[in-house]
Amino acid sequence: MKQIDLACIIDDDRVYIFAIKRMMKLSNFCKAFMIYNNGAEALDNLKAIIASGKSIPDVILLDVNMPIMDGWQFLDEFIKIESHKLITVYVVSSSIDPVDINKVKEYENVKNYIVKPITIEMLNQIATEVNDTE
């Protein structure tokens, strides 16, 4: 498995963030990662990074239910940003609501919906899919 250069985690659950960072390190998933605790913070920072031409994430692991700006609101704004590189998004949520699961089909850049908890095997699959699209 080829390692991803940069992954982005957008989630407000500190326990999940701790766990996913640890799994990413153990599985050699990525060289680096950036973390945001809500969609607004992520959107503001990612806009600035994209505009500046700095390294942008290869993949975003996005939670749906967050304060300030939820995952759907983030996606609605994020798809408006022009980027020189495709950023693959995976919605990673504890929600098993069919409405949420089916809603990802409305977004071209969302690859899949993953129900938490995420596993090392899932991370390996994500890395494979992201590397296959490059």
Whether the model pTM is above 0.95: no
The domain limits of the chain are 4-133
Q: To the nearest whole number, what is the mean pLDDT of the chain?
A: 91
Q: Are 29 and 3 in contact (CB under 8 A)?
A: yes
**Tens digit of each residue's pLDDT (9 = 90 or more) over 10-22:** 999 999 999 999 9
pLDDT in tens, 81-109: 888 788 999 999 998 989 989 999 999 88
Domain 4-133: CATH class, spelled out: alpha beta
pLDDT confidence bin for 1, thresholds 50/70/90: low
For residues 121-125, give the mean pLDDT: 92
Would you state the pLDDT for residue 134?
59
Phi, psi of 110 (to 5 degrees): -90, 120
